[in-house]
């Protein structure tokens, strides 16, 4: 909150005595025969003859008048003028500026002039009461950019063209600019830009100007183009010359580009029609190429889809064949395992039976008692009769009985054969 000064006459009956206080950021301007400013403090003044007069109380942090760059619109600072009425020789009263208060923001500066000497004033709060010191101007040290229309420039084949230039710069040494008498960096760059572009464009044909849209170095042209040399000059020569010219005024040129161009005259209109037809033909050819490319891509897409489907079917068939082979192999292995298991079981059973018979035969062989042997034979006879029935006739297979049976069978067979021949 601003504490504005308060003034009071300590002794009303004592003329010429004045006191007051000034808050932070405020200035009190007093007048005796001289103009002086009291800042951020109290004061007491006593005039032996006459009196002091307070001309103005200024809040230096909120000066009313904004100073702007009329080209870029950047705010350069704020100011306030303190005026005082004075009588002229003819008795008329006229106001004169007796003090100038300035509030210069950061990254800005001001140039003061006293006689033939210039002085740089940095950012901050300042005031000027010396009538011999004048304000040349305020400048910003930040980057600025603007679109600058040029005057008509004639190409080599006498076609007028108007360019719109994009400029980006930064003022580094304001004293140089003020020494050359320019109020803004744009005023210094405008004339140089017009002159250099006029020299370059005057060596270019209309056709090359139509193709060239910008003088930025990222625009490349065909090396076989006869106008490429001029286009290279447009990119490099203009930028180099403007950079050197800007340095004379304390300006660093950051960027330069041609963002638009307008051709004028009947020749330009005729050429525009021809170029328009050529462009239409190029557009139609490009549309045909695009349609053909789309069709080719569609066919390639369909072919790719068919190829993917065929691969999917092949994969599926391979998977099914592998499944069948694996199933058959598993079934064969299962049967083999079952057969091997059954054969092993049969072998084990036969070995067990043979072992049992062997053990039993050994046990029977170990019986030496005749009665026990006879009893065992009887038991075997009983078991055989029980197994085959009581009506079964057991024919001996060994001894005389067995031979007699064989002879009887052969006799019967011979008789049957004789009967058959008769």
**Residuewise pLDDT in 10s, the chain (422 residues):** 334 444 433 333 344 445 555 544 455 555 555 677 777 666 666 666 656 677 778 888 888 899 998 888 889 999 988 888 877 777 788 888 888 899 999 999 999 998 889 999 999 988 888 888 888 889 999 999 988 888 888 878 787 888 888 889 999 999 998 888 888 888 888 888 888 888 888 877 766 666 554 444 444 444 455 445 445 656 677 778 888 888 888 999 888 877 777 777 776 677 677 778 888 888 889 889 889 888 898 888 888 999 999 999 998 898 888 889 989 999 999 899 999 999 898 988 888 888 888 887 787 777 777 777 778 777 777 877 777 777 776 666 655 555 665 666 666 666 666 565 55
Task: Please choose, from the candidates 123, 118, 153, 151, the residue with its C-alpha nearest in 3D space to the C-alpha of residue 136.
Answer: 118
pLDDT at res. 234: 60
pLDDT at res. 228: 52
H/E stretch holding 292: helix 266-365
Residue 355 token pair: 């072992």
- The angle subtended at Cα 207 by Cα 201 and Cα 211, nearest 5°, is 85
pLDDT at res. 51: 65
What's the CATH architecture for 143-264?
A: 2-Layer Sandwich (3.30)
pLDDT at res. 401: 55
Can you give the pTM of this predicted structure? Answer: 0.53
Instruction: Specify whether the CB–CB gap between 29 and 14 falls below 8 A.
Output: no
pLDDT at res. 11: 33
pLDDT at res. 31: 52
pLDDT at res. 417: 60
pLDDT at res. 66: 92
For residues 174 and 181, give the distance between their C-alpha atoms in angstroms, rounded to a whole number.
Answer: 11
pLDDT at res. 173: 92
pLDDT at res. 7: 40
pLDDT at res. 109: 92
Domain boundaries for CATH 3.30.479.30 within the chain: 143-264
For residues 220 and 243, give the distance between their C-alpha atoms in angstroms, rounded to a whole number.
Answer: 22
pLDDT at res. 415: 65
pLDDT at res. 50: 58
| Number of neighbouring beta carbons within 10 Å of residue 23 | 15
For residues 64 and 58, give the distance between their C-alpha atoms in angstroms, rounded to a whole number.
Answer: 10
Residue 223 token pair: 């090396």
Instruction: Specify whether the CB–CB gap between 339 and 332 falls below 8 A.
Output: no
Widest Cα–Cα separation across the chain: 197
Write the burial class of residue 283 (CB in 10 Å: 0-12 exposed, 13-18 middle, 19+ buried).
exposed
pLDDT at res. 404: 60
């Amino acid at each position: 909150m601003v504490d504005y000064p308060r003034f009071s006459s300590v002794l009303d009956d004592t003329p010429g005595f004045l006191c007051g206080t000034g808050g932070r950021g405020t200035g009190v301007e007093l007048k005796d025969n001289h103009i002086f400013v009291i800042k951020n403090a109290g004061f007491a003044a006593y005039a032996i003859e006459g009196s002091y007069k307070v001309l103005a109380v200024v809040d230096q942090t909120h000066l009313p008048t904004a100073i702007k760059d009329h080209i870029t619109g950047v705010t350069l600072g704020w100011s306030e003028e303190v005026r005082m009425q004075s009588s002229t020789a003819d008795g008329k009263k006229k106001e004169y500026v007796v003090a100038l208060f300035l509030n210069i923001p950061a990254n800005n500066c001001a140039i003061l002039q006293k006689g033939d000497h210039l002085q740089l004033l940095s950012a901050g709060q300042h005031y000027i009461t010396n009538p011999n010191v004048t304000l040349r101007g305020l400048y910003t040290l930040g980057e600025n950019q603007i679109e600058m229309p040029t005057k008509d420039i004639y190409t080599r084949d006498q076609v007028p063209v108007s360019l719109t230039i994009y400029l980006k710069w930064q003022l580094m040494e304001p004293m140089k600019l003020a020494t050359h008498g320019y109020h803004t960096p744009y005023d210094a760059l405008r004339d140089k830009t017009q002159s250099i572009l006029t020299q370059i464009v005057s060596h270019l044909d209309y056709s090359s100007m139509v193709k060239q849209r910008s003088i930025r170095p990222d625009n490349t042209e065909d090396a076989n183009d006869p106008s490429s040399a001029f286009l290279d000059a447009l990119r490099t020569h203009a930028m180099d010359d403007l950079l050197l010219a800007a340095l004379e005024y304390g300006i660093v040129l950051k960027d330069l580009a041609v963002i638009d161009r307008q051709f004028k005259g009947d020749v330009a209109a005729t050429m525009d029609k021809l170029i328009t037809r050529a462009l239409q033909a190029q557009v139609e050819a490009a549309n045909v190429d695009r349609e053909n490319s789309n069709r080719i891509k569609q066919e390639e897409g369909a072919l790719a889809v068919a190829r993917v489907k065929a691969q999917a079917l092949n994969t599926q068939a391979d998977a099914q064949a592998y499944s069948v082979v694996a199933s058959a192999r598993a079934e064969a292995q299962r049967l083999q395992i079952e057969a091997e298991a059954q054969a092993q079981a049969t072998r084990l059973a036969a070995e067990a039976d043979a072992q049992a018979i062997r053990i039993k035969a050994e046990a029977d062989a170990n019986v030496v008692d005749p009665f026990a042997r006879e009893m065992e034979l009887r038991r075997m006879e009983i078991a055989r009769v029980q197994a085959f029935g009581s009506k079964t006739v057991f024919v001996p297979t060994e001894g005389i009985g067995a031979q007699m049976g064989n002879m009887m069978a052969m006799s019967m067979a011979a008789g049957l054969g004789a009967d058959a021949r008769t």
